[in-house]
Every structure is written in C-alpha cells, then in structure tokens.
C-alpha cells in the first residue's frame, strides 16, 4: 500500500491500486461486491444518476447546486477531475478539503484491499465517493456516469427511488458504445432500472424513443425537460437540472429555488480568465457535439474568430476530423501541442501534433505544432487576438488551467 500524505500521493495510490484491467472484468458486478463489502453506504441517501454525451457534468453540478440551495446536504462525484483528485468526492458544494480527503483515502484503501478483488481506478473513485457520502451524512448523492451507462460501474446503483437523468446524446466513445446515436442512447438509457423515473432533455426523437422504450421495459416513467426556445447549451443544462429537481421536490414537498447558473460552472467548462487584458476561455469540448456547444456559445457572445490552443486524445479515426470541422469556422489560428498523462498501462495521450496540424490545414485552418503544453500556451498568449480559447480535452484543460492561474 502506497503512503498517502497529500492529494498527489492519494491520486498515485488510487491509480496504482490495481494493475492492468483483466480480461473478463465486469465493472457492475465488481462495484456491487465492493458496495456490499462496505455495508451498502449508497442505501443511506437518495440517488440521482446522471448520464449523457454532452452536458452531464454541468447538469450534475446544477442539480447539486439546486438541492444545496433548497437546504439539503449533498454529495457529488464526477470524472475526470480537472483541478485535483478531490473533485471526485464533493460534499456540501465543495471538493473535500485535502486533509479530510487524504484521511478518508488512508482509511478506505485497506477496506477496498480486503475485498480481495481487482478494482479499477474508476471503480475505486466511485466506491470511495459513495462511502464518504454516507460518512458525511448527505441526503442526496449525485453520481455521474463514467462512460455509457448500461455497463458502467455506477449502474450497480439500483433502487426504485433512484432518479435518472439523461442529457444530450450524440456520437462519442463509438469504439465502446456503437457508431449510431440510437446505439449510444441505448447505453445511456441503461441506467434506468425497475420503477425508476428518468428525466431526459428534449432532443432527437431517436433518443427519446430509446429512453421511452427502456422505461416501458422496466415499469419506469419518463419526464421530458423542454428548454426555452433558442436556449444555449448551458441554458439547456439548467432546464434539465431544474426539471430533475422539480421531480425530487414533487416527491419530498419542497420548492425548487432560483440560482445563478454561471456561479456553478464546473472547472474547464466555458471557464473564463482575464490575462493581460484579454479573455481566455477554457473548455474541455472533445467531440463534435460538445465542440458544437462551444462554437454556439462563442457566437452567442459575439466572439470570433479566435486563436485556439487545442488537440484531442487519441480516438477512433473519424473523431479528429469531425471535431476539427465543427471548430474550423471560428479559428483564426490553431496551436497544437502534444501531451501524455499517467504511466504504464494507465496513459492518456494526445494525437501527434503533426497529424492534427495536417488535418486542420486540410480544413483551411492556419495551424502550427509545438512541443509541449507550456510552450503552446506561451505561443497562444503572444497572438494578437483579443479572445483566446483552450479546448479539445478535459485532460488538456487540467494541464493548462494551473498555468493560467499562475499568470
């Protein structure tokens, strides 16, 4: 067991708890075994389970904010983290303080080890959060799906009173979830269990039909959240969150408060900084649908063309050109770095910069490769444009954000 003294060593211990994921490892079965081993902490509070391709993290933050504003104590777990690993375990509207998070990790890891089973980093993080929620006596636990829904470890959370929430669904993780919207929607709708109510944002009828079919199969109920006409994607997320909390209020007899949604923006989601009198926007858009949301927001704010620091994680071949093509009309210049996070078999790696530049230039984007993220930011900040954007991955956002704060 690794020594845990701070957030960095806690992250290291969680990452290296298990080796490479074994063939035949079943996430839901493993998570159920862990929760049983921990005494089923998830049964001590109400659950809100959030899935979707785009907007699920922002929606989860807004649901949490609405519940906190209504007077409830909440837990929230999301992934990936952008600032630090304690973002994955949030209590009362904030990530756990470092000292408390470290103390909980020290106590939790021997419990997890005593299960005697392989646990992935994601399963450990979710299990830790659900266990801490019980220790911190939350009333609502808001849980974001990792990938998909049906086979995701979080789908071990099954209870008739669980509230399911489905945000916008589009093409992403096609190597794991399928290459059509209805196939991906089937995975997202898979979080709906027996007797559950699911709140889904109004969108393509293909998605709504899949959600309705799933609810019908399990004796559930569907509520469609209808955003205002012409709503931007942040407003759509808020409409979905309000509809979800309205359903909770209907059950428990409380009114849904009014909040300033911009005050609850997650790190790396259209997050804005001012550096040397210029606006720098940090957004983790990493697929065509999310990039469309970013472009929509830039246009609605009257911004563009903008200089961009950006690249994507390596993924199926079609994702890179499709995402770049959505961004292209807004870009005056693209700075492309390379990066690698993690080690061994737990690595997140960007595309080679030259490949991204080649595909960007084929779309008419003026682009240049650089060696590192730090160098790319320096190049970006030397550009003449008044608005600068960093985008393409939440992992990239996690690398750039501290550099921006240091400025």
pLDDT single digits (tens) 322-334: 999 999 999 999 9
Q: pLDDT per residue over 125-149, tens digit each?
A: 999 999 999 999 999 999 999 988 8
> Cα(138)–Cα(135) distance, rounded to whole angstroms?
8
pLDDT of residue 232: 86
Q: Which parts of the chain have pLDDT scores under 70?
A: 1, 171-179, 343-346
> Cα(62)–Cα(150) distance, rounded to whole angstroms?
24
> Cα(254)–Cα(252) distance, rounded to whole angstroms?
6
Asked if 247 contacts 222 with a C-beta cutoff of 8 angstroms, the reply is no
Segments making up each domain of the chain, as ranges: 7-263, 267-406
Pairing of strands 46-51, 163-166: parallel
> Cα(391)–Cα(394) distance, rounded to whole angstroms?
8
Residue in the block written with tokens 């709906």: 192
Q: Would you state the CATH architecture of domain 7-263?
A: 3-Layer(aba) Sandwich (3.40)
CA dihedral 285, 288, 291, 296 (to 10 degrees): -150
**End-to-end alpha-carbon separation of the chain, Å?**
37
Residue 199 three-state SS: strand
Tally of CB atoms within 10 A around 346: 15
Buried residues in 44-80 as b, exposed as e (16+ CB within 10 A): ebbbbbbbbbbbbbbbbbbbbbbbbebebbbbbbbbb
State the DSSP H helix or E strand holding residue 348, giving kind and residue range, or none if neither: strand 346-349
Q: pLDDT per residue over 298-324, tens digit each?
A: 999 999 899 999 999 988 778 899 999
Structure-token pair, residue 147: 């990938």
Structure-token pair, residue 370: 């650089």
State the DSSP H helix or E strand holding residue 309, giving kind and residue range, or none if neither: strand 306-310
Pairing of strands 306-310, 331-336: parallel
pLDDT of residue 172: 60
Structure-token pair, residue 364: 């008419």
The greatest distance separating any two alpha carbons of the chain, rounded to the nearest whole angstrom, comes to 58
Asked if 221 contacts 197 with a C-beta cutoff of 8 angstroms, the reply is yes
Interhelix angle 288-300/319-327, rounded to 10 degrees, is: 10
pLDDT of residue 233: 84
What is the assigned CATH class of domain 267-406? Answer: alpha beta
* Overall pTM surpassing 0.75 (yes/no): yes
Q: pLDDT per residue over 332-348, tens digit each?
A: 999 999 999 876 666 78
Residue 106 has φ and ψ, to the nearest 5°, of: -60, -40
State the DSSP H helix or E strand holding residue 33, giving kind and residue range, or none if neither: helix 27-37
């Amino acid at each position: 067991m690794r020594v845990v003294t701070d957030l960095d060593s806690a992250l290291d211990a969680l990452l290296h708890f298990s080796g490479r994921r074994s063939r035949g490892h079943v996430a839901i079965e493993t998570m159920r075994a862990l929760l049983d081993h921990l005494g089923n902490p998830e049964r001590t509070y109400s659950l809100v389970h959030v899935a979707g391709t785009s907007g699920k993290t922002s929606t989860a933050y807004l649901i949490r904010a609405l519940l906190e504003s209504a007077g409830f104590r909440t837990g929230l777990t999301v992934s990936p983290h952008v600032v630090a690993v304690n973002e994955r375990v949030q209590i009362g509207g904030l990530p756990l303080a470092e000292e408390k998070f470290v103390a909980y990790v020290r106590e939790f890891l021997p419990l997890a080890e005593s299960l005697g089973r392989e646990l992935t980093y994601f399963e450990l993080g979710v299990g830790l959060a659900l266990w801490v929620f019980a220790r911190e006596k939350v009333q609502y636990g808001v849980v974001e799906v990792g990938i998909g829904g049906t086979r995701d470890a979080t789908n071990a959370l099954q209870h008739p009173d669980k509230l399911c929430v489905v945000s916008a669904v589009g093409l992403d993780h096609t190597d794991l979830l399928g290459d059509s919207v209805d196939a991906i929607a089937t995975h997202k709708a898979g979080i709906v269990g027996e007797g559950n109510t699911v709140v889904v944002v109004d969108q393509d009828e293909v998605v709504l039909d899949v959600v309705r079919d799933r609810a019908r199969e399990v004796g559930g109920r569907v509520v469609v959240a209808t955003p205002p006409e012409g709503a931007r994607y942040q407003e759509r997320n808020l409409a979905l969150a309000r509809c979800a909390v309205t359903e909770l209020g209907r059950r428990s007899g409380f009114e849904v408060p009014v909040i300033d949604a911009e005050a609850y923006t997650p790190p790396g989601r259209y997050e804005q900084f001012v550096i040397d009198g210029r606006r720098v926007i940090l957004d983790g858009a990493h697929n065509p649908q999310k990039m469309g949301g970013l472009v929509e927001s830039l246009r609605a704010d009257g911004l563009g063309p903008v200089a961009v620091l950006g690249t994507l994680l390596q993924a199926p071949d079609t994702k890179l050109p499709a995402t770049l093509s959505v961004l292209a009309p807004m870009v005056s210049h693209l700075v492309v770095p390379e990066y690698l996070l993690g080690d061994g078999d737990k690595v997140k790696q960007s595309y080679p910069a030259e490949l991204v530049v080649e595909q960007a230039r084929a779309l008419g984007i003026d682009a240049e490769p650089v060696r590192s993220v730090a160098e790319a930011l320096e190049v970006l900040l030397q550009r003449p444009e008044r608005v600068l954007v960093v985008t393409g991955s939440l992992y990239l956002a996690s690398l750039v954000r501290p550099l921006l704060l240091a400025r």
